[in-house]
Amino acid sequence: MLVIVSASNSTHPAVQLTGVRKSYDGVAAVDGLDITVERGQVLALLGPNGAGKTTTVEMCEGFVSPESGSVRVLGLDPIAQSAQLRPRIGVMLQGGGAYPGSKAGEMLRLVASYSANPLDPDWLLDCLGLDHAVKTPYRRLSGGQQQRLALACAIVGRPELVFLDEPTAGLDAQARLLVWELIDALRRDGVSVLLTTHLMDEAEQLADELVIIDHGKIVASGTASELTKQGAEGRLRFSAPAGLDLTSLAEVLPTEYSAHEEGPGSYVVVGVIEPGILVIVTSWCARQDVLATELQVDQRRLEDVFLELTGKELRR
């Protein structure tokens, strides 16, 4: 296990945004956000292009000042108290801050030197599969290698909280898996993480809490399973002999459920499909002396929920 966290007895949340607003040229990029990242929590911020994710993260990092509302990171103001905060947080900069000619190993050692108790840079490069690139100049690293180096720079100082803006954008499947494992290790070590992503499987895999924003506002939040279940009508499908009389099934189902024969021998029950509903339907089949085959429960995926909430039209 990675031992990253520097023990902190602070009780402040990792991040607390209250009524935060920021606009550019009179248009709100972030429009009254309230978000809390608890200590040790991994929170994923999801949203279509231009939803305000990066602006939100940049306000937490102290790079952008909010127009109104309050931003507190580990209980501190990220702009007014940035000197106190900086050694305690990790920021993943997209190619930012790198001298194109400096070598990967040198860069990480330099960042590590700012920290009182850094991780061993060589070990970290090894963990991230960058051991062969130690002497490679930054500009010669592949996009995926630059991305992993940025992640290494963000965590080498054993931060209490890490901000990751699209940490796996442009990575191949192997590198993505490696970064996922690293983020999971951060969580196990009690590090708080605020990440943005466009990948639903990434959010589902990594995050304890998901916040979907659009036009700078929260449109939904919760765990992945809460979001996929919320108010969702599901479908239970099964095959059986054609022409069954479904009146007696409708009588035993709760009133908000319906049952239809969609095509000859193809039946569907519509409603929130919970375990008890399966029991009702299969017991009813048994009473009819009917063997239901090809039983299938259609579950909403996070992607379906995301598109329902944020629409399907392309953002410009």
* Positions in the binding site for ligand ATP (CB under 6 A): 24, 29, 47, 49-55
Rounded to an integer, what distance in angstroms lies between the CA atom of residue 100 and that of residue 175? Answer: 22
Q: What is the DSSP string of 7-59?
A: P----S-SEEEEEEEEEETTEEEEEEEEEEE-TT-EEEEE-STTSSHHHHHHH
Q: Are the CB atoms for 232 and 300 separated by under 8 Å?
A: yes
User: Sheet harboring 266-271: ordered strands across?
Assistant: 258-263, 266-271, 234-239, 293-298
We find the least distance from the C-beta atom of residue 283 to ligand ATP, in angstroms, to be: 48
For residues 42 and 211, which CB has a smaller minimum distance to ligand ATP in the complex? 211
We find the least distance from the C-beta atom of residue 23 to ligand ATP, in angstroms, to be: 8
We find the least distance from the C-beta atom of residue 199 to ligand ATP, in angstroms, to be: 12
For residues 26 and 275, which CB has a smaller minimum distance to ligand ATP in the complex? 26
We find the least distance from the C-beta atom of residue 226 to ligand ATP, in angstroms, to be: 22
For residues 51 and 124, which CB has a smaller minimum distance to ligand ATP in the complex? 51
296's CB contacts (< 8 A; 6+ apart) are 236, 237, 238
Rounded to an integer, what distance in angstroms lies between the CA atom of residue 108 and that of residue 113? Answer: 9
For residues 31 and 160, which CB has a smaller minimum distance to ligand ATP in the complex? 31
For residues 207 and 269, which CB has a smaller minimum distance to ligand ATP in the complex? 207
For residues 55 and 146, which CB has a smaller minimum distance to ligand ATP in the complex? 55
131's CB contacts (< 8 A; 6+ apart) are 122, 125
| Burial group, residue 29, by CB count within 10 angstroms (0-12, 13-18, 19+) | buried
We find the least distance from the C-beta atom of residue 292 to ligand ATP, in angstroms, to be: 44
Q: Nearest 5°: CA angle at 237, between 235 and 242?
A: 140
We find the least distance from the C-beta atom of residue 313 to ligand ATP, in angstroms, to be: 15
